């Protein structure tokens, strides 16, 4: 490998190095996040820093290409605090899809959308995966970090509620970028008293119906920006979650390396 740390980080390679890398791998990791408020104790980039660092650890252990991350996502419920950006659902969907389709044109066959802005932009990325698979002949996967590290997070959690910028995300960040977390400013914010039946504010909540949060509602629920208890986050918890997600994604990338190119017949374009 040409890159100094042995990772095919696309932004740092020449086109000839990419051409050579394609002899080794046809799998690309694309970190997808959002730039949005994460409380008093963490910066706006959390949802990108997490999937980018996870993808980097996977890339250290496997042959795959690491694409520059997508920094902007669907975050209309966080615009009540400055620094948050949001794009429309369809804009986001088309942008992510087009990036993957252009990579397919120069040889990428498998793409993993490593999503750090979980829950909210899952539907869009599920649609992108379906389009890439059915219309563009790729093998595409949506990898929401929260779903993949769920077992480890359930095993280590000590708070009742971890919804946004709280126990889970703060623990992940303490493992990946401790210098970006200010635990002296971490706060515990309780969930709403007036939650409706069949809805749950926890990230692993038992939601029986589809629902959504507005910026006004978030503003009403949290003065800090986080929802849940960020004070119980630890690096040890974060390490368990990071190791879990890196191990799972590594398995998927290794399995893809053993497959032939997806059949052109699968594509309908």
Which residues make up the interface to Zn ion (CB under 5 A)? 46-47
DSSP 141-169: EEEEHHHHTHHHHHHH---S-EEESSHHH
Q: How remote is the C-alpha of 220 from its chain's centroid?
A: 26
Tell me the closest approach of the beta carbon of residue 176 to Zn ion, in angstroms. 13
Q: Which residue is closest to Zn ion by CB?
A: 47
Return the exposure string of 32-64: e unless at least 16 CB atoms fall within 10 Å of the residue's CB, then b: bbbbbbbbbbbbbbbbbbbbbbbbbbbbeebbb
Query: Which residue is associated with the tokens 């252990």?
Result: 61
- Looking at beta carbons only, is 110 or 170 nearer to Zn ion? 170
The tokens for 109 are 């066959």
- Looking at beta carbons only, is 8 or 168 nearer to Zn ion? 168
- Looking at beta carbons only, is 117 or 139 nearer to Zn ion? 117
- Looking at beta carbons only, is 33 or 262 nearer to Zn ion? 33
Tell me the closest approach of the beta carbon of residue 41 to Zn ion, in angstroms. 12
Tell me the closest approach of the beta carbon of residue 76 to Zn ion, in angstroms. 14
Tell me the closest approach of the beta carbon of residue 200 to Zn ion, in angstroms. 18
CB 250, CB 186: distance < 8 Å: no
- Looking at beta carbons only, is 25 or 121 nearer to Zn ion? 121
Tell me the closest approach of the beta carbon of residue 165 to Zn ion, in angstroms. 6
Measured between alpha carbons, how far is 256 from 106 in angstroms, rounded to an integer? 18
- Looking at beta carbons only, is 47 or 187 nearer to Zn ion? 47
Tell me the closest approach of the beta carbon of residue 33 to Zn ion, in angstroms. 8
Measured between alpha carbons, how far is 102 from 109 in angstroms, rounded to an integer? 11
In sequence order, which ranges of the chain are alpha helices (DSSP H)? Answer: 15-24, 46-61, 89-105, 122-136, 145-148, 150-156, 167-176, 215-221, 235-257
């Amino acid at each position: 490998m040409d890159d100094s740390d042995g990772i095919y980080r696309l932004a740092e390679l020449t086109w000839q190095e990419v051409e050579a890398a394609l002899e080794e791998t046809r799998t690309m990791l694309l970190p997808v996040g959002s730039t949005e408020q994460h409380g008093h104790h963490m910066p706006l980039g959390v949802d990108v820093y997490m999937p980018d660092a996870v993808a980097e650890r996977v890339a250290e252990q496997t042959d795959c290409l690491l694409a520059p991350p997508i920094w902007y996502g669907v975050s209309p419920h966080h615009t009540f605090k400055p620094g948050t950006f949001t794009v429309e659902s369809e804009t986001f969907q088309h942008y992510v899809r087009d990036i993957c389709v252009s990579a397919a044109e120069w040889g990428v066959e498998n793409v993993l959308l490593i999503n750090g802005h979980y829950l909210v932009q899952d539907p869009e990325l599920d649609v992108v995966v379906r389009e890439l698979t059915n219309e563009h002949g790729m093998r595409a996967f949506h990898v929401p970090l929260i779903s993949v590290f769920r077992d480890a997070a359930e095993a280590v959690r000590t708070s009742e509620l971890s919804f946004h910028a709280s126990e889970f995300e703060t623990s992940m960040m303490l493992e990946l970028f401790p210098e970006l977390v200010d635990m002296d400013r971490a706060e515990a914010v309780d969930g709403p008293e007036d939650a409706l039946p069949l809805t749950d504010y926890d990230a692993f909540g038992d939601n029986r119906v589809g629902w959504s949060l507005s910026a006004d509602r978030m503003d009403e629920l949290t003065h800090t920006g986080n929802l849940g208890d960020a004070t119980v986050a630890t690096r040890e918890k974060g390490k368990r979650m990071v190791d879990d997600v890196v191990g799972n994604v590594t398995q998927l990338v290794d399995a893809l390396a053993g497959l032939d190119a997806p059949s052109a017949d699968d594509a309908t374009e």
